Amino acid sequence: MFEPFEEFDQIPQIVEKLADRDAAVRRVAVMDLADTASPDVIAHIGSALKDPSPEVRLQAAIALGEFDGEPAAAALVIGLQDDDPRVAQAAADSLAELKEPTAAGPILPLTEHALPAVRVGALRGLKELRHPESLARGIRALSDPVAAVRVQAVGVVGYLKPEEALPALIACCRDVDADVRKAAIGALAFTRSPRVGEALIAALADASWAVREIAAEVLGKSRFRNATGPLIGLLTDSSWQVRVKAVRSLGQLQAAEAVHAIAGQLEHGISNLRKEAAAALGEIASSTALPYLEGLVNDPDPDVRKNVRWALGRIGQ
């Protein structure tokens, strides 16, 4: 938040500048009003969202992000529907900064707006508000025809983490859009339901490497022990980023049966993968990893050498 003015009697003079013929003056007036940090200026800044100059409207949308509560939200829904995509995006960003559940009132109806961009912005704004109606709105939006809307709906539902929404989120792991699948898998992190584990393991064979990567990561975070075999199989993936997450998860699972497969990554040309492999072997702390690690004490990458020393220390203990 901005530092508040000591003299609030300056506000009327600043408000007068919102009617100036020069757009640059009006834009600065919006900034000065935001600097006061007074809730009394929200309506004035909101009026600037109807200014003929897109630069003034953009500044107003940004400035409203410094305030909380329903008045700021009500003003921002105007900016969310602006013809200038920059203004609409700034309004969406500011809505996402709102933290008070009372701010949800003006936003909720926009989840069914005719314009997809407005629905996207509204769902972004609802995500962290934890309003009682957010869940129902989010679940309905999971069936939206626009993928970008479904991604934001996953965020709303996943943030609340309700048990009754698990079937809907699991279904999104099979969405036609890779971004939706990726968002759904991320939303299922730390959920230990067997149904979730099955969905995540199935996602290890996804056509998108980004989906396979996050599925591999979540399986380790959620400690799905039956994922060990599928994760070992992922160590031959064509994407090194996927291999990194698979190796890390095998370390988190302390999968002793994966030592030899992980050790095979110690010779990979990408140092990040060698570093993760050394760390995972340290997490597993099996003496069978000693020969592999000892052969890497002189690795050219200092981060790899550091992890090798740590892993050797873990095994030695």
Nearest CA to 174 out of 150, 194, 193, 190 is that of 150
- Supply the pLDDT for residue 161: 79
Q: What is the pLDDT of residues 130-146, one digit of tens each?
A: 888 999 999 999 999 99
DSSP-derived 3-state class of residue 211: helix
Say what percent of the chain tops pLDDT 90.
82
Under 8 Å between Cβ of 75 and 43: yes
What confidence tier does 68 reach under pLDDT thresholds 50, 70, 90? confident
Say whether pLDDT at 233 is over 70: yes
In the numeric block, which tokens belong to residue 215?
A: 């599925």
Helices (H) and strands (E) in the chain, counts: 20, 0
Q: In the 8-state DSSP scheme, what is residue 67?
A: -
Provide mean pLDDT across the span 237-246: 96
- The C-alpha R_g of the chain, in whole angstroms, comes to 25
Provide mean pLDDT across the span 113-142: 92
Residue-averaged pLDDT of the chain: 92
Find the largest Cα–Cα distance for the chain. Answer: 77
As to burial, measured by CB atoms within 10 angstroms (0-12 exposed, 13-18 middle, 19+ buried), residue 30 is buried
Residue where the block lists tokens 């002189």? 298
Provide mean pLDDT across the span 242-246: 97
Which secondary-structure segment (H or E) carries 210?
Answer: helix 209-221
- Supply the pLDDT for residue 7: 47
Say whether pLDDT at 3 is over 60: no
The whole-model pTM stands at: 0.83
What is the C-alpha to C-alpha distance for residues 194 and 260, in angstroms, rounded to an integer?
Answer: 28
As to burial, measured by CB atoms within 10 angstroms (0-12 exposed, 13-18 middle, 19+ buried), residue 60 is buried
- Supply the pLDDT for residue 250: 97
- Supply the pLDDT for residue 101: 86
Residue 217 has φ and ψ, to the nearest 5°, of -65, -45
Instruction: Spell out the domains of the chain, with CATH numbers in brackets.
Output: 227-317 (1.25.10.10)
Say whether pLDDT at 4 is over 90: no
Q: In the 8-state DSSP scheme, what is residue 161?
A: -
Length of the chain (residues): 317
- Supply the pLDDT for residue 256: 95
Which secondary-structure segment (H or E) carries 121?
Answer: helix 116-126
What is the C-alpha to C-alpha distance for residues 34 and 63, in angstroms, rounded to an integer?
Answer: 6
- Supply the pLDDT for residue 317: 61
Q: What is the pLDDT of residues 40-52, one digit of tens each?
A: 999 999 999 999 9
- Supply the pLDDT for residue 316: 84
In the numeric block, which tokens belong to residue 233?
A: 């199989």
As to burial, measured by CB atoms within 10 angstroms (0-12 exposed, 13-18 middle, 19+ buried), residue 291 is exposed
Nearest CA to 280 out of 239, 222, 232, 218 is that of 232
Residue 262 has φ and ψ, to the nearest 5°, of -65, -40
- Supply the pLDDT for residue 218: 95
What confidence tier does 191 reach under pLDDT thresholds 50, 70, 90? confident
- Supply the pLDDT for residue 8: 53
- Supply the pLDDT for residue 1: 46
What is the C-alpha to C-alpha distance for residues 229 and 40, in angstroms, rounded to an integer?
Answer: 60
Say whether pLDDT at 15 is over 60: yes
- Supply the pLDDT for residue 9: 67
Provide mean pLDDT across the span 118-137: 91
